[in-house]
Structure 1
Amino acid sequence: MKRISFLIIMVLFVSFSWAKKHSKKPNIIIIVADDLGYSDLSCYGSKDIKTPNIDRLANNGVRLIDFHTNGTVCSPTRSALLTGKYQQRTSVSEIVTVWDRDHGLDLEEITFAEQLKKAGYTTGICGKWHLGYKTMYNPINQGFDLFNGYVSGNIDYHGHQDYRGFMDWWTQDEIQNEEGYSTDLITKYALRFIDSNKDKPFLLYIPHEAPHGPFQGRKDMAFRKTGQKVPDKKRSYDTTRLIYKEMVEVMDEGIGKVMASLKKNNLEKNTIVFFFSDNGGAKYAKNAPLRGGKSSVYEGGHRVPCIVSWKGKLKQIELDQTLMTMDIYPTITNLAGIENDHFIDGQDIMGVLSDGEKLNQRDLFWEWRGKFAMRRGNYKLILYPNKNVVELYNLKEDIAEKNNIAVVKPELVAEMKLATVQWFKSVSNQ
């Protein structure tokens, strides 16, 4: 009898130990490139840019080919990412510019960092914020325990001044400039954060500056000067493209170091990693085969490369379901065991990533300065109301958006047009 009781106790102990081990909250890393072109990674078809470390993520995870940013420019996408809502519902649906330093993400918004802190996560951001200049909007007041980086849209990679010549390199809520190439500094602080928090659950947000302008390599001199508005150096297209290439490859190098740190600390199997761009590529990027680029509501403005990797949990697949940056919020909060008791627009996509589940049909929308786009299944509507532009494309057959079929499907156009008007009214009234 004693032997049976002992065996029962041992079985219960082993079961409890297994459950404890497998219920451990996963670490979460979100890496965001800035203005990266759809085809500017080797694993997305680039012939000149080499990204072996990002490719390795794709080879060990899910490569998304129909992933979209909520905005076609930086701040709106970041607002949607941080809140899980269409940015039009938040206080940041426009670019937070260096000329408007009083505006930022409303402190009443609940960020994913604030949610994860409830679940015992240590939270850090290393890189670009772009959701408010004032100290009140600083990341440490929006759920992040640690902030190293900058708050503007871009800084000199070496001098760290913003476009107006203000120094913009922060530790927490204080400006503390230091020497170094911004991409390397972002990586340095990311590695430090991982090493410091390896024994507890963490969220690490790494919004890179690269490959956003000013276009500077590691060996360039600083372009900008503190207290002065100095124009960024102009070069030929070919020369700038080579620098752009270097900027992407240096970012890739840093991502490799982050992944090596996870391996060194035995964290690979308990860390999910997201990588994507904040919007489509700009002038020196390549978005082929997509039409348009940054600030456009055509595919090149918001369809971006996206990879999700989690060793042992996600298989190597290519996924063509239509997903959005706002979907990351409910996905990571659910992974952390947090129930979102407030309104969000995004949907948990973990089942899609891990098991290929199909999301229920949903309409998706984009808006930028009076230009609209709507996605319903394979069909995409483009509206420029002020210019009386109405276009419809079947993206399954025409991903480059060359063949406008609006006149062929007037009923569908009318339905989608009405849905777009109703959507914009609903999000604008929040």
Structure 2
Amino acid sequence: MKIHPYAFCSLLMLVFIPFSSVTLCKAAERPNLVSIVTDDQGRWAMGLYGNKQIQTPHMDQIGREGAVFMNAFVATPVCSPSRATFLSGRYPTELKITDYISPDEAKSGLGLATTTWPQVLQKNGYQTALIGKWHLGEQNRFHPRQMGFDHFMGFLSGGTRPMDPTLEINGETKKRKGPLPDLLVDDAIQFLQQSKDKPFALCLHFRAPHTPYGPVPEQDAAHYQGMDIDVPITPGVIPEQIKKSNQDYYASISSVDRNIGRLLKELDRLQLSDNTLVIFTSDHGYNNGRHGISTKGNGHWLAGGVTGPKRPNMWDTSIRVPLVMRWPKVIEPGTQFDEMVSNVDMFKFVLGALKIPETENLALHGIDYSPLLFGKPVKSRTALFGQYDLHNNGLAYMRMIRTPQFKFVKHYRAKRMDELYDLEADPGETKNLIRRRTNAKWQKTADSLEQQLIDWQKSIHDPILEPAYQ
């Protein structure tokens, strides 16, 4: 007769097996977590979301063997503030990290200074690790080992070389030979092997596909040799330039995907897959020619083959991200969720999924949508909010509200820049209806959304509303 392992643990407790054995059983029952985050990967740059040219079989595997979220967003379209929100459940202005942390800011002492969900997991008996990118402060008090991670291997700043990188390993800075994604996953596999008998939470944060995209191993670039990349071509850009940029971008993503495959295979080999929630997402979206700009929320106009002025933005291409999850013990393969979710939800979501009580006295935002994984409904979200202050390479103060039908973006300290889009009629956000505000319908819509936005800003004590910022 075959006895389920969890039932076996219960039998052990009934016959008074020593406490240490019971502890091991309880540890085996507790779910593990693997959180994989890429850097600068748009939702459109993944096969499962409809891209027929990019090779992402293992990213797709996570969603096909589990769940795909069709409407996942981030609260801000640039790395440091988005990562801070992901780990803390708070908005960028609350954390005083509203743009990427520059080297000068890191040196002067800017960093993430609040409770993170890895800290809560650590206090609840989880072995925790961050492998890869941090970019949330470089002083000792902001080091990952001080922010909830038992193990850290990677880099504290915004980036390192995609090939032969310099990394912090066991507290020492070392130059390593090889592709960065491979080196990170080598360490991640070692962490899994060492932690397999304890509940663990692994955060694997890749640098790719951030610029520079390469070099990448030939096996990853080979997928796209000679391929005519199908990308939107906006007026003024040089098609060959955009196609080549996306070709290199795809190769970088495939280098990550291949390594995700290695990690999933190791989870299978260690017989950890069934009880491990694997989350794959990105820190924000990307354009790479879409809307006629480069990169993300701090992108530049592209025209005539040159890099033009910045175009601060919160288009869906910059804030919409892939989000897929696999948890064989819980999630039915092929599940799809259409609910709007945000990375500000991640703190509450992780605690809810792992059945860990929320820590008291934490000012967390967002919702716990983990009941969806267990087949239970959650309250429908009527709006998402976002913000971005671009101050390192320009000047922009944007606040956003997005409903299922509309998006309104308020540009503070800038004239004639506010934006209103009807996402049902214009999902590509090509027609700014603010310019039609003389139309009574759009006037009423914009005014209503702006008031909701202001109410939200007041609720988080957004400093942009203070007279000093006007």
- Contact between 1:37 and 1:287, CA under 8 Å: does it hold in 2? no
Deviation for aligned residue 1:14? 8.1
Larger CA deviation: 394-403 vs 78-87: 394-403
Counterpart in 2 of 1:105? 111
* The one of 139, 142, 148 aligned to 1:143: 148
Instruction: Give the counterpart letter for 1:249 in structure 2.
Output: S
Counterpart in 1 of 2:386? 366
Gaps of at least 5 residues in structure 1 are: 1-9, 161-167, 221-234
Deviation for aligned residue 1:237? 4.5
Deviation for aligned residue 1:47? 2.6
Closer/same/farther in 2, CA of residues 281 and 360 from structure 1, 3 Å limit: same
Q: Does 1:339 align with 2:366?
A: no
Closer/same/farther in 2, CA of residues 291 and 189 from structure 1, 3 Å limit: closer
Deviation string for 1:93-143 (max 9, x for gaps)?
221112322333343x10111100111000001110010122321101111
Deviation for aligned residue 1:37? 2.3
SS in 2 for 1:251: helix
Counterpart in 1 of 2:233? none
Counterpart in 1 of 2:212? 214
Q: Does 1:416 align with 2:422?
A: no
SS in 2 for 1:66: strand
Output the CA distance in 1 between the equivalents of 2:174 and 2:294.
41
Output the CA distance in 2 between the equivalents of 1:398 and 1:293.
20
Closer/same/farther in 2, CA of residues 383 and 292 from structure 1, 3 Å limit: farther
Q: Percent identity?
A: 25
Output the CA distance in 2 between the equivalents of 1:411 and 1:292.
33
Counterpart in 2 of 1:381? 408
Counterpart in 1 of 2:319? 302
Structure-to-structure mapping, 1:24-423, within 5 angstroms? 24-102=29-107, 103-107=109-113, 109-160=114-165, 168-219=166-217, 237-283=242-288, 293-295=296-298, 296-315=313-332, 316-334=334-352, 335-341=354-360, 342-355=362-375, 357-369=377-389, 370-385=397-412, 386-405=414-433, 407=437, 408-423=441-456
Deviation for aligned residue 1:403? 4.0
Deviation for aligned residue 1:192? 0.8
Output the CA distance in 1 between the equivalents of 2:338 and 2:50.
16
TM-score (norm 1): 0.84
Output the CA distance in 1 between the equivalents of 2:383 and 2:160.
36
Deviation for aligned residue 1:326? 1.6
- Contact between 1:122 and 1:203, CA under 8 Å: does it hold in 2? yes
Deviation for aligned residue 1:347? 1.4
Deviation string for 1:203-242 (max 9, x for gaps)?
000110111011212359xxxxxxxxxxxxxx95544433
SS in 2 for 1:113: helix
Counterpart in 1 of 2:234? none
Closer/same/farther in 2, CA of residues 99 and 270 from structure 1, 3 Å limit: same
SS in 2 for 1:153: coil
- Contact between 1:27 and 1:272, CA under 8 Å: does it hold in 2? yes
- Contact between 1:140 and 1:173, CA under 8 Å: does it hold in 2? no
Output the CA distance in 2 between the equivalents of 1:283 and 1:377.
25
Instruction: Give the counterpart letter for 2:340 in structure 1.
Output: T
Larger CA deviation: 25-34 vs 390-399: 390-399
Output the CA distance in 2 between the equivalents of 1:201 and 1:427.
34
SS in 1 for 2:286: coil
Closer/same/farther in 2, CA of residues 16 and 275 from structure 1, 3 Å limit: farther
Deviation for aligned residue 1:55? 1.1
Closer/same/farther in 2, CA of residues 159 and 256 from structure 1, 3 Å limit: closer
Gaps of at least 5 residues in structure 2 are: 1-7, 16-21, 219-239, 299-312, 390-396, 464-470
Closer/same/farther in 2, CA of residues 91 and 368 from structure 1, 3 Å limit: closer
Instruction: Give the counterpart letter for 1:388 in structure 2.
Output: R
SS in 1 for 2:261: helix
SS in 2 for 1:187: helix
- Contact between 1:63 and 1:318, CA under 8 Å: does it hold in 2? yes
Instruction: Give the counterpart letter for 2:357 in structure 1.
Output: I
Closer/same/farther in 2, CA of residues 336 and 185 from structure 1, 3 Å limit: farther
Deviation for aligned residue 1:404? 4.1
- Contact between 1:140 and 1:172, CA under 8 Å: does it hold in 2? no
Pairs aligned (count) = 397
Output the CA distance in 2 between the equivalents of 1:242 and 1:379.
32
Output the CA distance in 2 between the equivalents of 1:404 and 1:134.
43
Counterpart in 2 of 1:232? none
Output the CA distance in 2 between the equivalents of 1:16 and 1:345.
42
Deviation for aligned residue 1:336? 4.3
Instruction: Give the counterpart letter for 2:110 in structure 1.
Output: G
Deviation for aligned residue 1:425? 4.0
Output the CA distance in 1 between the equivalents of 2:403 and 2:75.
15
- Contact between 2:278 and 2:326, CA under 8 Å: does it hold in 1? yes
Deviation string for 1:119-170 (max 9, x for gaps)?
100000111001012232110111100011111112111243xxxxxxx511
Output the CA distance in 2 between the equivalents of 1:202 and 1:118.
12
Output the CA distance in 2 between the equivalents of 1:287 and 1:268.
40
Output the CA distance in 2 between the equivalents of 1:76 and 1:244.
23
TM-score (norm 2): 0.77
Closer/same/farther in 2, CA of residues 350 and 395 from structure 1, 3 Å limit: same
Closer/same/farther in 2, CA of residues 13 and 187 from structure 1, 3 Å limit: closer
- Contact between 1:291 and 1:298, CA under 8 Å: does it hold in 2? no
Output the CA distance in 1 between the equivalents of 2:133 and 2:14.
42
Output the CA distance in 2 between the equivalents of 1:61 and 1:312.
10
